[in-house]
Chains A and B, each alone.
Chain A
């Protein structure tokens, strides 16, 4: 093996590093599982050796003191776990080194193949494959991070708007699938001589296991195809909510498959059980969510453990739900969705980042591990291949899904405002992937009561492979072929935000006029209730009163300011619309307003301010593009990632600048962010699909407007006054924030014709930042960053 990698020399030096990297990974891949398997053997031997040693000697003959000894058994379990996690992560690294491959084949397929290889290697080495997809391990450790990540970042608005459709697909669709598959399989089996002993209930049980759309698989595949929001949320929401149905059906058929025929009473109890399971799960999750939000209210002095509360409360919600055999997945989703707006308003921005990164990291690793384990378990598991059973299962899954989707859409379209087209239906049907949950449920089956367990497992694995490989690989070209609408990548503008809110109010009003309690009416009521009671209780301090629009606006301004500062250092800003329009183009020319009435600014709490400054300063070195997507593998798109050299130069420039600016602190003011607003600090954090959360408002809102073209307009005079006043209230003034504001020298200064040269602006900015100039008078007509 080593010689092979050494002797291969890929042509062309440019391509050598990814190839070498891949070969290195393959090497590791081979070594790790062998190490794992053989170490298991070593462990056993060691153990046996110890025993014999202990038994054999009662007279302790003195041996030389062991300087170095091997005790693998001591650390065996954590070591193996770490090896597996390491393998998963290295695989992930490897795939992204070869972009061509990851464009054609979805990651999940590659991971399953890796799992197969690893399993095969272990078997070849003669060792026993560890029972990796043990149901306890799967359900208690591997699944929760993925579901929590999905629930915490669930886009609430589209989810709630389509909740009826989602529930229909999840509940009715899964029931239809289960019974259709189970029933027809039973009929087919009766006609076959070798499968005759399969009675109806095990068939139905099998049907219910294999019919549920799997959230892990859906997430893995759909993320790479960037489909439009509606379809994504429909399929994904369905995969999450069908857990309740699956749980109930599974337990129902499991219980009664031995005990005889199911009576009407049992069926009725099943329905009741479904309601209890679903609603109970949601309730448990909501309770823990509120607890978590309430706890986060008091964490202002112990910021370090804030993320811990989020994770622990969510996990406990899951475990509590599982304890009562309620739907753990629904508990997790509701916990994450409920606690998020309140927790985000309370915690510091670093905790926010931590939570985000940890969730993404865990869910990523979990997903990778699940797929690898699927591969390993395939190699390992006892198989019993029966052509008829397996092929009929696969065909039935497809057929049932298609018929189910078409039928349900026909009914649902009567109730939807925006109907689902045929293309949409096709994608929904095609996106019904099965995954590891089905396998684990099959694994859980008791061997004694289900002699056909192995056949079931083989069929389940075949279905999973079929959906993940065939459907997973072909869905991307199909989406292109059918020209399905893709996700909008554009940033949300403030106009869109204003009009979204305006529409909300407008439609609520119109519904009122028409006289029926519609969708908007209830949403409005919920919002009022939320604002009036819940927010006051769960959000600390003044932040409970800030309206959405203002929070959004602050975020946006902050982001723009930071971006512009960064680009002023010389790097091209990718997101800006090249435009020379400035505030003065919009303001009608009017005489300066009378001096505005005195208004006392709220005192900025010192600690908050310090935090804001630190964040601003650290953000100068890097800019992040805000990416409103639900992609789990790329948190942020960093346009400057490759320009590390640039960053260093910029950093130096900034440091020089700071020194210079320290000398002339009368000309700089700190952009006083609204007090107590972590939103301001977090404006640059990306990958947050929900753009708004409740934040604090203040009486005066100093705005940070970036003015590219030039000088002062009457209104900005007022703003500058605010800044000056704010500055005077602060004790520290010399810290450079990267935004230079200039106090006005007087009311509206005349616009010098020299300023009209718009092409000079970027350079001017550069000049502005790198060399502020020696005195105030000279700077009078320099563009200020507003």
Chain B
């Protein structure tokens, strides 16, 4: 009994250091994780075989993803806030860049916009494409203002991505509240059980 407690204690400490969550938050997330996974150690990928996707993730990986959504604390310095912002932007970038080649190509961006508009009924692909094209044009114009007509803009790199989303202040916006109290009475929309 005592041994297993110290073991989880060490584990928790290790996780706390790595992700920055507090002990209660980690306990709650662990409970939630167990709920989602049906009391197993890993959550399985429901979507079948996707290129480049994990088949199953463990608790530590779950926490690593979650820690991207932590809010900044009052005591953070400007550099820390900057680092946090970069981290969050990196997360978003990776979400868009599905083939992980370091750039968001037009195709990938189009997919993003399509998914955004997918809930809105019969919008049609043309619209999504047009919007994605315009957005891409904007990125290119702001970052590489002078391009010869036969040059090709490969895709949005991370620097460009940072540049265009400068105004959004990610460190203040991309956050959710991680509670210290237990609210696991709620069920997720699509539970795995």
Which residues from chain A contact B32 at a C-beta distance below 8 Å? 513-515
Is there contact, CB below 8 Å, between B117 and A547?
yes
Is there contact, CB below 8 Å, between A418 and B71?
yes
Interface check A493, CB cutoff 8 A = yes
Interface check A511, CB cutoff 8 A = yes
Interface check A499, CB cutoff 8 A = yes
- Could you say which of A496, A705, A755 contacts B168, with CB atoms under 8 Å apart? A496
- Could you say which of A419, A499, A586, A758 contacts B137, with CB atoms under 8 Å apart? A586
- Could you say which of A498, A506, A513, A710 contacts B135, with CB atoms under 8 Å apart? A498
Given A505-B116, A755-B149, residue A557 in contact with residue B71 (CB < 8 A): no
- Could you say which of A516, A550, A581, A585 contacts B179, with CB atoms under 8 Å apart? A516
Which A-chain residue is minimally distant from B165 (CB atoms)?
A499
Q: How far is the CA of A505 from the CA of B153 in the complex (A)?
A: 29
Q: How far is the CA of A522 from the CA of B124 in the complex (A)?
A: 29
Interface check A248, CB cutoff 8 A = no
Is there contact, CB below 8 Å, between B134 and A553?
yes
Interface check B120, CB cutoff 8 A = yes
- Could you say which of B135, B147, B184, B186 contacts A585, with CB atoms under 8 Å apart? B147
Interface check A501, CB cutoff 8 A = yes
Contact with A along B92-136 (1 / 0, CB 8 A): 100100000000001000001100110011111011011101111
Q: How far is the CA of A699 from the CA of B73 in the complex (A)?
A: 46
Q: How far is the CA of A512 from the CA of B120 in the complex (A)?
A: 21
Is there contact, CB below 8 Å, between B140 and A585?
yes
Is there contact, CB below 8 Å, between A586 and B176?
no
Which residues from chain A contact B130 at a C-beta distance below 8 Å? 553, 701, 703, 705, 719
Is there contact, CB below 8 Å, between B69 and A751?
no
Q: How far is the CA of A709 from the CA of B32 in the complex (A)?
A: 54
Interface check B17, CB cutoff 8 A = no
- Could you say which of B95, B150, B176, B179 contacts A507, with CB atoms under 8 Å apart? B176
Q: How far is the CA of A494 from the CA of B106 in the complex (A)?
A: 15
Q: How far is the CA of A546 from the CA of B130 in the complex (A)?
A: 16
Is there contact, CB below 8 Å, between A498 and B113?
yes
Which residues from chain A contact B144 at a C-beta distance below 8 Å? 581
Is there contact, CB below 8 Å, between B29 and A697?
no
Is there contact, CB below 8 Å, between B66 and A514?
yes
Contact with A along B160-171 (1 / 0, CB 8 A): 000011011000
Interface check A502, CB cutoff 8 A = yes
Interface size on B, residues (CB 8 A): 65
Q: How far is the CA of A496 from the CA of B188 in the complex (A)?
A: 29
A385 vs chain B, min Cβ distance (A): 45
Which residues from chain B contact A501 at a C-beta distance below 8 Å? 116
How many contacts A-B (CB < 8 Å)? 184
Q: How far is the CA of A550 from the CA of B133 in the complex (A)?
A: 13
Q: How far is the CA of A709 from the CA of B144 in the complex (A)?
A: 14
A472 vs chain B, min Cβ distance (A): 29
Is there contact, CB below 8 Å, between B149 and A709?
yes
Q: How far is the CA of A586 from the CA of B139 in the complex (A)?
A: 10
Given A417-B177, A516-B183, residue A700 in contact with residue B134 (CB < 8 A): no
- Could you say which of A515, A701, A756 contacts B35, with CB atoms under 8 Å apart? A515
Which residues from chain B contact A705 at a C-beta distance below 8 Å? 130, 133-134, 137
Which A-chain residue is minimally distant from B73 (CB atoms)?
A419
Contact with B along A545-583 (1 / 0, CB 8 A): 111011001001100000000000000000001111111
Contact with B along A500-542 (1 / 0, CB 8 A): 1111011100111111111110000000000000000000000
Given A418-B71, A518-B177, residue A581 in contact with residue B141 (CB < 8 A): yes
Is there contact, CB below 8 Å, between B146 and A495?
no
Q: How far is the CA of A421 from the CA of B77 in the complex (A)?
A: 12
B27 vs chain A, min Cβ distance (A): 13
Which residues from chain B contact A503 at a C-beta distance below 8 Å? 173-174
- Could you say which of B71, B112, B188 contacts A498, with CB atoms under 8 Å apart? B112
Is there contact, CB below 8 Å, between B151 and A496?
no
Is there contact, CB below 8 Å, between A499 and B168?
yes
Is there contact, CB below 8 Å, between B165 and A418?
no
Beyond the given pairs A506-B92, A715-B129, 15 more chain A to chain B contacts, judged by CB atoms under 8 angstroms and listed by A's residue number, are: A495-B135, A498-B116, A506-B95, A513-B36, A550-B120, A550-B131, A579-B145, A581-B147, A583-B133, A585-B140, A588-B152, A697-B120, A700-B126, A718-B126, A756-B148
The 9 A-B residue pairs with the shortest CB-CB distance, nearest first, are: A579-B141, A547-B120, A516-B183, A579-B145, A581-B140, A703-B130, A417-B71, A701-B127, A419-B74
Residues of B whose CB lies within 8 Å of any CB of A are 29, 32, 35-36, 66, 69, 71-74, 92, 95, 106, 112-113, 116-117, 120-124, 126-127, 129-131, 133-142, 144-153, 164-165, 167-168, 172-179, 183-184, 186-189
A-B contact pairs, 29 of them (CB 8 A): A418-B72, A495-B135, A495-B164, A502-B112, A502-B116, A503-B174, A506-B92, A507-B175, A510-B176, A515-B35, A516-B186, A518-B176, A547-B123, A550-B127, A556-B134, A579-B141, A580-B146, A582-B137, A583-B137, A585-B140, A585-B151, A587-B106, A587-B133, A589-B152, A697-B120, A701-B130, A709-B149, A715-B129, A756-B148
